[in-house]
Structure 1
Amino acid sequence: MCTLRSFLATGKLASTAASAWRDPAALAQMRAMYATGQRQEDTTFYEFRTYSVKPAMMSDFMKLTNENIHMRTAHSELVGYWTLEFGGLNKLFHIWKYDSFAHRAAVRAKLAQDRDWLDKYLLKMLPMLDNQDNEVAYLVPWCKLQKPETEGVYELVSFQFKPGGPAVWGHAFRAAISTHVNTGYTKLVGVFNTEYGSLNQVHVLWWNENADSRASGRHRAHEDGRVVAAVRESSRFLESQRNLLLLPTQFSPMK
């Protein structure tokens, strides 16, 4: 495949552009030159929501949500709902799945008309919050969502990469994740690329039996040459990283 440099050096760039509208193959080649990553074909996306609850209201919030979450899940799929054990106090993190943006809009419209949901939950819940945030993310094309079969703890690792998209850092990052998976020190749940939120950000959700097994696996990984080499290569593109330890709530589908 020709590179941009070879196109410029040989004068093929202009000729390819001129013929692109007549030749579908030439048009595809032009698009590939400027692509930042694999095209997202699946319209399914995941909404990440983070709630910051007033410290004195945390117990009341959990009780209210446990008693009424069924009214919300009647409208769309809840993937998981967690409290933050480390990485932030009095916070809750939950993931919702949608088939498309039209699907989400339809769900939001129905919720706005659901008097039970509004009166029994939403109007009571909102005064308990200090803040709420959301992001839209897609599963990366090379990953499928894995739901653990047994209860455990979860770790959400958020990577902020240098600008440029997966075309710049995607290969090295995938290699680092694959190395962690193949060594078996932890279990992968899903890898998500942010669409709305901070760009060039990837969230990786891991599962471990408990916090101690996670710590043990991390120590072994730090001493594994395969992991060290893969992480060192990926870190060349990294700007920041944040780790959260999550505990599934009583009503979370992922335990």
Structure 2
Amino acid sequence: CVKQKHLSRGSYRQSEQACWLLTEIPKPSAHLATGPQQEQRTFYEFRTYSIRPDQNSAFLKLTNEKIHLRTAHSQLIGCWTVEYGGLNKFFHIWQYVSDSYSQRAAVRAAVAQDPSWISEYISKALPLLTAQDNEVLYLVPWSRLKQGGVFELVTFQMRPGGPAVWGGAFQAAMSAHDAPGYGKLLGAFHSEFGLLNRVHALWWFESADHRAECRHRAHTDARVVAAVRNSVAHLDSQRNQLMFPCPFSPMK
């Protein structure tokens, strides 16, 4: 288990080494950490773009053709379009590994000075968008990845207090779904910047019908119901989005 340490409000970070791709399913023994930043200092930026409804196809075509200009600067984990739970949304995840936030700052500076990126993509993409949003998050130590199928992003807005208060109950609820096979938990991320006490859980399913079947079976499992009931006591709101990977997404 992660050794818990007291931190000031809003300063909850992982204290274990996070591994993006694990070869085996880890035992669910670690709570969401509240200690110092993880040893490898890997963090992820979630970016969500809202596309003008009449420009969705144009934006995706342009991004497909020019995304290589951006991935030349840093690692793209995956990108998806939202099918249910929010139309005309483009969601993508970027990974940064550094001793601080200096790598991201350097990447952003380099991108801003890249004439090809500016002239061939940004200048053409921005008029197609209505809004942009981003968050910085850390991957919890009991997460893993799988590729293929469809993806569900579940966003939980937990009550104030941080993982020291709700981390154990949240992990138990996730594990109750993941361990019996009611979906595959690819990654769970807790917020560092953006709305605090927010957790994103990224799930994998073979298809939308497979997801519906898993949800139905989970709702009849007494262990899942009990674990969710305990976690809900710490929950303010929840949002689910079913997403399809883009053809150019590294994660499919």
What does residue 155 of structure 2 align with? 158
Pair 1:196 & 2:193 matched: yes
- Pick the structure with greater CA Rg: 1
Q: Equivalent residue of 1:38, what SS? A: coil
Q: Is the 8 A contact 1:81 1:94 kept in 2?
A: yes
> SS of the residue aligned with 1:183?
coil
Q: 5 Å matches for 1:109-188?
A: 109-140=109-140, 142-148=141-147, 151-188=148-185
Q: Give the corresponding residue for 1:89.
A: 87
What code does the residue aligned with 2:152 have?
E
Does residue 80 in structure 1 map to residue 81 in structure 2? no
Equivalent residues of 1:138, 1:193 under 8 A apart? yes
Following superposition, the deviation at residue 181 of structure 1 comes to: 1.1
Q: Is the 8 A contact 1:139 1:145 kept in 2?
A: no
Offset at 1:178? Answer: 1.1
Percent sequence identity is: 59
TM-score (norm 1): 0.84
SS at match of 1:48: strand
1:117-154 deviations in Å (ceiling 9; x for gaps):
111111000110011100000012x2244132xx2110
Matched, 1:206 2:200: no
Separation of aligned partners in 2, 1:198 and 1:241 = 13
Partner AA of 1:187 in structure 2 = K
Q: How far does the alpha carbon of each residue in 1:159-181 deviate from its partner, in whole angstroms, 9 at most, with x for none?
A: 11111001100011111111111
**Could you tell me which residue of structure 1 aligns to residue 35 of structure 2?**
38
Per the alignment, do residues 170 and 53 of structure 1 end up closer, same or farther by CA in structure 2, a change over 3 Å counting? same
**Aligned counterparts of 1:157 and 1:113: Cα–Cα separation in 2:** 35
Separation of aligned partners in 2, 1:138 and 1:34: 16
User: Which residue of structure 2 aligns with residue 8 of structure 1?
Assistant: none
What residue identity is the alignment partner of 1:147? K
Equivalent residue number for residue 104 of structure 2:
104
Q: Would you say the 8 A contact 2:139–2:188 is kept in 1? A: yes
List 4+ stretches of structure 1 deviating above 4 A.
33-36
Q: Secondary structure at the match of 1:199?
A: coil
Summarize deviations over 1:181-209 as a string: whole Å, max 9, x none. 11101001100000111111100000000
Q: Can you give the 5+ residue segments of structure 2 that lack an aligned partner in the other structure?
A: 13-33
Quote the Cα distance in structure 1 between the aligned partners of 2:179 and 2:87.
Answer: 33
- Cα distance in 2 between the residues matched to 1:34 and 1:211: 41
Distance 2:5 2:51 in 1: 45
What's 2:69 paired with? Answer: 71
Residue 33 of structure 1: CA displacement? 5.2
**2:193, 2:158 → 1: CA distance?**
15
Give distance in 2, aligned partners of 1:110 and 1:33: 37
Contact 2:45 2:134 survives alignment (8 Å) = yes
Change beyond 3 A, Cα 1:246–1:114: same
RMSD of aligned residue pairs (Cα, Å): 1.6
Unaligned 5+ residue runs, structure 1?
Answer: 1-28
What letter corresponds to residue 58 of structure 1 in structure 2? N
- Cα gap change, 1:104 to 1:211, in 2 (>3 Å): same
CA distance in 2, matches of 1:167, 1:220: 30
Higher deviation after alignment, 35-44 or 227-236: 35-44
| Equivalent residue, structure 2, for 1:47 | 45
Give yes or no for contact 2:150–2:207 (8 Å, CA) kept in 1. Answer: yes
Aligned partner of 2:218 in structure 1 is: 221
When the two structures are aligned, how many residues end up with a matched partner?
Answer: 223
Q: Is the 8 A contact 1:85 1:247 kept in 2?
A: yes
* Equivalent residue letter for 1:116: S
- The separation in 2 between residues aligned to 1:185 and 1:191, in whole angstroms, is 16
**TM-score of the superposed pair, with normalisation by structure 2:** 0.85
Does the 8 A contact of 2:139 with 2:189 survive in 1? yes
2:235 matched residue in structure 1: 238
Counterparts in 2 of 1:82 and 1:196: CA distance versus 1, 3 Å: same
